[in-house]
Amino acid sequence: MTPQMLILATLIVPLVGAAIAAVSRSTKAARGIALVAVLVNLALTAWLVLPVIPELIARAPVPTDAEPLSFSPLHTLKFDLLPFASEPGKPSPALQFYVGLDGLNVWLVLLTSFLMVPAVLVSWTAIEDRGAEFYAWLLALAMPMLGVFYAFDSILFYVFFELTLVPLYFMIGIWGGPMRRDAARKFFLFTLAGGVIALLGLIGITIAVRNRTGELTFAIPRLIELVQQHLRAGDPTTMAYWKQAQWLVFLALTAGFAVKVPLFPVHTWLPLAHVEAPTAGSVLLAGVLLKLGTYGFLRIAIPLCPDAALAVGAPLLCTLACIGIVYGALCAFAQQDVKKLVAYSSVSHMGFCVLGLFALNSAGINGGLLQMVNHGLSTGGLFLLVGMLYERYHTRMIPDYSGMAARLKVLSVFMVFICLSSVGMPGLNGFVGEMLILAGAWSVQAPGVSGAWLASVVCVGIFLGGWYLFTMLKRVFFGPLHEPHHDHHAPPVADLNARELCALVPIAIACIVLGLWPQPIIDSARRDVNTVVKICDGARDRAAVVKGE
Amino acid sequence: MSDVLWLIPVLPLAAAVLVGLFGKLLRGQSHWPVVAAIAGSACVSLYAVVQLHHQSGPVAVLRSTPLPWFSAGGVNIDFQLVVDPITAVMLTAITFIGTWISIYSIGYMHDDPGYPRYFAVFSGFVFSMCGLVLTDNLLVLYGFWEGVGLCSYLLIGFWFAKPSAAAAARKAFLVTRLGDAAFVLGIFLLWNKFGTLEFEELFQAARAQPNEPILLTACLLLFCGAVGKSAQFPLHVWLPDAMEGPTPASALIHAATMVTAGVYLVGRTMPLFVAAPAALATVAVIGTITALLAALIALTQHDLKRVMAYSTVSQLGYMFAALGSGQGDLAAFAVTAAIFHLFTHAFFKALLFLASGSVMHAMGHVIDMRRIGGLRKALPITHWTFFIGAMALAGLPPFSGFWSKDEILAVAKEAGHGSAYHAAYLFVFYGLLLTALLTAFYTSRAYFRTFWGPEVIPAEAGHHGHSHDDHGHDHDHHASEPAGPGVAHESPFVMTGPLIVLAIGAACVGGLLAVTHGFAHFLGHTSDFVKYLPKHEHHADYGLMALSAGLSVVGIFSAWWIYVRNPKTAGAMARAVPRLYALSQNRFYLDEIYGWLAVGPLTAIAVISRVFDMLVDGIVDIIGRVPRFFGGLFRPVQNGLVQFYALATVLGLVVFIFVLAYLRGEKGAW
């Protein structure tokens, strides 16, 4: 199979699985189908991704001056979905189905397929009611999640971006906790509103490019290339135009992506959605869906609007990220609900990620990219473990627990392990990303941003991360054993079973492997990161020239 | 050939993984891989020492082939093992003493349900510490540094069901992590300035730009890390609580690993500190304050292990005072003195902790000196080995501690001459002298109260079981326990053997290495010394030696006078100065002060943040109601009455026509 066919296959398999699961008679059949589907999908993704990684690493590290300064995805697949009328002899402009792989999306694609497996496994016994529907929605979620990473057409990106909302809306709204309706509605409206504004930005840049160049295109690499051509030509009259266009587009895109990340102060949908969502939903929400925001910044907002990203993005988003890091950590500490604690820790950790990206230098962007994958693994793992605890005792309140390490030994070992990964213990995955973000923050060069301050906030965040997680560990897992009230006629609560171990062990192994050997991610993304950095450097040069005048 | 160095960290790591994964199968045999691995590391370390010794030329160094870790955005990190004399000394202390502590643990931990877990973490601890001293890169050092912190967390919280142990573990992790946050900030400040994190390149860059203000900031930030890890004031509060772990683990933390990391860090990065004299003075003053403060606290503690813990804090302060005194051409001498004291201290402090553990083992885990006494007959081997350790700590010649302490005093004395920070170093020198006196006193006090006087054996004695539920420091409740003497047995040979070996070390190592100048010569071949630290000829200061020995004798004698000769004086003295006594007894109330000033406010801010977040959410909800509000405003219009709609249509049409007419009229286009 060619990589193009594999890309299509990874999009179709979950949908087919969802269709079969939807019509299956029982929960048991549905979950079996779901497991097969996600495993097949993981195998296909691995088949797709693993051979591509050496190709990605083998690329020249930086685009030469002869090449267009833009992304150049491999194994692209393009066909027109909605062609517009065109003049004869010219390629017809169209909304395209344009997908491909490059260093920025390849690991996120793998992460998505990888996390689908524990998401199915952890729902195995937790979902009893309307199981067929549940697994259908769960599988249906995989398609847009993968699609949004594959997409290189801005409108296709947007379509997948918004399509992720539908399955999760139903998962939260039907199988969620007591406040599921509120949570689902808030989650949906919040992200939809952001997304629609982002769509304005996407259309805006298309029109802006068309006005100046006469070329109508929705392809992200082509848009970046055209914008770069104009910016680098440096004609003063067009510069004013591009500056204004970038400002508006950047702010519109930021509205959409900031909600998704989520950044302070538009984060309030997240804790509610997490607490109410079923475990599988939380895992995918934290593990994959939050990355759509940071991925959007990296793929679209920064390369398309580098001057705006430098002038307004760096001061604004770095400040919001810093607030998010500290504020998220403080809120996490004060929670009584373990799941809410983990949700707020996501706010804090995603703040690191945004801070790295908007340092707009190589170390920071590399760190932000690594942190996306790392946060997916470690926070995904935390939600799995919290879900497993909840399934046993039906409470998530920290004061209800004490000394669980004596009763649930293996679960506690995994909990400590994942917490260590989350706080950036060296040798585990979080460390390298955090250190690169710190390096990027120190060496940030943007107007109105002080590297020393950013780095100090990162360090405060590193400390606070340990503070809330280890306090939680102490309260829930250590001290004298005190189990929450549960049915005493039932057999004593058992430790992790084989199914749960199958969900956790691969994540733990991935944490170790990426901690010791993060270089494949860095190397495969090198060209793309350098492209973004070069675009940002250009913006910095232009800003310096303006200042000099 | 130098790749054999990889064995030093890899052996303990392999043992840790093996025991960690297959502990359930190994059970009571879990110690074998660990003891063998650490002993193997010790052999390779000794081999490295011999190799270094035989190298000709001024610089002695062994390097392994580098192994890349990651490289992105100008941060290039390799694992490369480098053994130079400082590292070799550290390795010897870690692995040699680690081996004996692990053997001792076989006896001490023998029927604990967490036996495999203990040995797995123990081995991981030794691995992290070896890695820490073997690397030539600041970020890799930081990596192992965190690994050390993690292992200490797991060992201190080993009996996690005990609330005090769980609390102590978390406290140790968080307090040291506070220092670490500053440490890593400093690391990347250096990276940002110099573009590298390798020691050699950093040192060259620092030499090229002395008195660079960034160096001062960076050195102070690095020192913050050392303050946390090495339990210096004001972050020393975790170390005394850390005794909640098993006693051999305390011995490991206090002697061979963990707390020595900070001293090593400052010693290793001395070429940076030399370029920032103000940072050095800060190190010296903080070290002296710590030494004094901890010695004052140790005077009145009743818990034998707690006395030892504060003595560790105090002795580490000594080492930092020595390092900080390395102004100008004293730098190499200062590092030598500090590392020498680290080395001798490792022997006698490991010995003292293990001997205290042996007392605990015999006393059924009672360690309160008010409940034990006169044990010299019941525990003869423990008694003699403890005696040697205590005298070494007290600085009585010819035991080890005397020689290294004397060198530190000599550095501190010379640092005052002609330095810009003359007053600071005067304080350091006299502070250290006073500390020497106090150390001799409180050490002897602990010794005499435990082993002399009438024999007092608590009822729990003879129970060797590690039922850790009752193993605690709840001294206040002892009145209710059953009266009547227990039976005390000397510990088994697997425990007393290590005591004897370490006692020989504590007695002889210092004298041998000091008199022959072997230690200073060996360290003198460190490349940092040769290249970056100026040479300084040091002559033995016999007057100072006599003074130091005299202080030690005075301290020991007065302790004997007060606690053996006239046992009632102690209480009378405490009653004479109740405020001071309470201050010392309550550790200067520092824990309470931190509770008010740091922990409380931070928790309060967290709660406020949580409430504020509800507010933010509320505002969002209000915004969410805006459309509904407007919808509600116009809803009455949609009332379903056809007449109303018809009326509205007609009215609308009329309004529309009038407006149209008016607009046309404005334009005058009729």
Using pLDDT thresholds of 50, 70 and 90, give the confidence band for residue B471.
Answer: very low
Q: Which of B70, B143, B617 sits opposite A518 (nearest CB)?
A: B70
With beta carbons under 8 A apart, name residues in chain B contacting A272: 617
State the best of B185, B187, B469 to mutate against chain A, taking most chain A CBs within 10 Å. B185
Tens digit of pLDDT for each residue in B170-222? 999 999 999 999 999 999 999 988 888 998 888 888 888 877 788 999 999 99
B147–A426 CB contact, under 8 Å: yes
Q: How far apart are CA B354 and CA B348, in angstroms?
A: 10
Partners of B68 in the beta sheet?
A: B78
pLDDT value of position A109: 95
pLDDT value of position B478:
42
Report yes or no: A401 and A481 within 8 Å, Cβ to Cβ: no
Domain closes at, from B585, B619, B654? B585
Q: Given this model, what pLDDT does residue B475 score?
A: 41
Q: In 3D, which of B95, B387, B365 has the Cα closest to residue B246?
A: B365
Q: Is some CB atom of chain A closer than 8 A to the CB atom of B643?
A: no
Residue B669 lies in domain: 639-670
Cα nearest neighbour of B117 on chain A: A413
Number of domains in chain B: 3
Distance to chain B for A523, nearest Cα, Å: 8
Euclidean distance between CA atoms B663 and A286, whole angstroms: 58
pLDDT reported for residue A535: 92
User: Helices marked H in A394-450 — which ranges?
Assistant: 409-422, 429-442
Q: Does B160 touch chain A (CB under 8 A)?
A: yes
- CB A470 to CB B173 under 8 A? yes
User: Are the Cβ atoms of A335 and B610 closer than 8 angstroms?
Assistant: yes
What is the average pLDDT across B251-263?
A: 85
Q: Which of residues 430-459 of B touch A (CB under 8 A)?
A: none
Query: If DSSP codes are grouped into helix, strand and coil, which group holds residue A288?
Result: helix
B 185-204: CB under 8 A from A: 185, 188-189, 191-192
A164-202 pLDDT tens trace: 999 999 999 999 888 888 888 888 888 898 999 999 999
User: Which residues 116-145 of B are in CB contact (within 8 Å) with A?
Assistant: 139, 142-144
B68 touches chain A (CB under 8 A): yes
Instruction: Tell me, yes or no, whether B277 and B173 share the same domain.
Output: yes
For range B654-665, the mean pLDDT: 86
Average predicted confidence (pLDDT) for chain A: 90
d(CA B104, CA B651): 100
Same-domain check for residues B537 and B654: no
d(CA A344, CA A329): 7
What three-state secondary structure class fits A482?
strand
- Are A158 and A195 in contact by the 8 Å Cβ rule? The answer is yes
Q: Evaluate if residue B467 carries a pLDDT over 50.
A: no
Whether residues B490 and B597 fall in one domain:
no
Whether the per-residue pLDDT at B470 is higher than 70: the answer is: no
Domain ranges within chain A, ordered by starting residue: 3-548
Q: Is B20 helix (H, G, I), strand (E, B) or coil?
A: helix
What are the helix (H) ranges across A77-164? 106-123, 131-150, 154-163
Whether residues B556 and B629 fall in one domain: no
d(CA A428, CA A374): 9
Question: pLDDT tens digits for B371-418?
Answer: 888 888 888 888 999 999 999 999 888 898 898 998 899 888 888 777
Chosen for mutation from B175, B468, B613 (greatest number of chain A CBs closer than 10 Å) is B613
Mean pLDDT over all residues of chain B?
A: 86
Smallest CA–CA separation between A62 and chain B, in Å? 13
Measured between CB atoms, which of A333, A435, A462 is closest to B139? Answer: A435
Q: pLDDT tens digit string along B503-543?
A: 998 888 888 888 888 888 888 888 877 777 777 667 778 88
What average pLDDT score do residues B436-456 get? 90
Please compute the mean of the pLDDT values over residues A65-79 and round it to a whole number. 87
For residue B610, give how far its alpha carbon lies from the nearest alpha carbon of chain A (Å): 5
Q: A355-401 pLDDT, tens per residue?
A: 999 999 999 999 999 999 999 999 999 999 999 999 888 888 899 88
- Is the pLDDT at B592 greater than 90, yes or no? no
**Which of B523, B556, B585 is a domain's end point?**
B585
pLDDT digit string (tens) for B355-378? Answer: 999 988 888 888 888 888 888 888
The confidence score (pLDDT) of residue B468 equals 43
B440 and B550 share a domain?
Answer: yes
The pTM for the full model equals 0.91
Q: What was the pLDDT predicted at B481?
A: 43
Q: Any chain A CB within 8 A of the CB of B420? A: no
Q: How many CB atoms lie within 10 A of CB B303?
A: 19
DSSP letters of A52-86?
A: HHHHHHHS-SS--TTS-SS---EEEEEEEEEEPP-
CA end-to-end span of chain B, whole Å? 106
Q: Give the closest-approach CA distance of A457 to chain B in angstroms.
A: 10
> What is the torsion angle, in degrees rounded to the nearest 10, for the CA atoms of residue A147, residue A152, residue A154 and residue A158?
10
Same domain, B338 and B473: yes
Q: What pLDDT shows up at residue B25?
A: 83
Which residue would you say has higher pLDDT here, A213 or A536?
A: A536
Interface touch B143/A480, C-beta < 8 Å = no
Using 50, 70 and 90 to split pLDDT, how confident is the model at B667? low
Q: Worst-scoring range by mean pLDDT, A89-98, A441-450, B582-591?
A: A89-98
Contact A463 B178 (CB under 8 A): yes
Q: How many CB atoms lie within 10 A of CB A61?
A: 10
Q: Is B658 exposed, middle or buried (0-12, 13-18, 19+ CB in 10 A)?
A: exposed
Tokens of B135: 């690397």
Q: What confidence score (pLDDT) does residue A488 get?
A: 65
Interface confidence (ipTM) of the complex: 0.91
Give the dihedral of Cα atoms B434, B435, B437, B440; nearest 10 deg.
180
> In this predicted structure, what is the pLDDT of residue A43?
95
Summarised one tens digit per residue, pLDDT across range A105-151 is: 999 999 999 999 999 999 988 888 888 899 999 999 999 999 999 99
Q: In this model, does residue A530 exceed pLDDT 60?
A: yes
**pLDDT score at B574:** 80
| Residue B333, min C-alpha distance to chain A (Å) | 34
CA B516 to chain centre: 31
Q: How many CB pairs under 8 A join A and B?
A: 149
Residue A472 has pLDDT above 80, yes or no: yes
Among the ranges given (A417-431, B92-106, B471-485, B581-595), the one the predictor scored with the smallest mean pLDDT: B471-485
Confidence of residue A435 (pLDDT cuts 50, 70, 90): very high
Closest CA to A146 of A166, A160, A162: A160
Mutate to test the interface with B, among A192, A259, A274, A331 (most CBs of B within 10 A): A331
Q: For residue B589, which of B347, B234, B272 has the smallest C-alpha distance? A: B234
Q: B664 and B580, same structural domain? A: no
Are B390 and B409 in a shared domain? yes
Task: Collect all residues of chain B within an 8 Å Cβ-Cβ radius of residue A409.
Answer: none
What is the predicted pLDDT for the residue at A87? 66
Q: Judge contact between A452 and A442, C-beta under 8 A.
A: yes
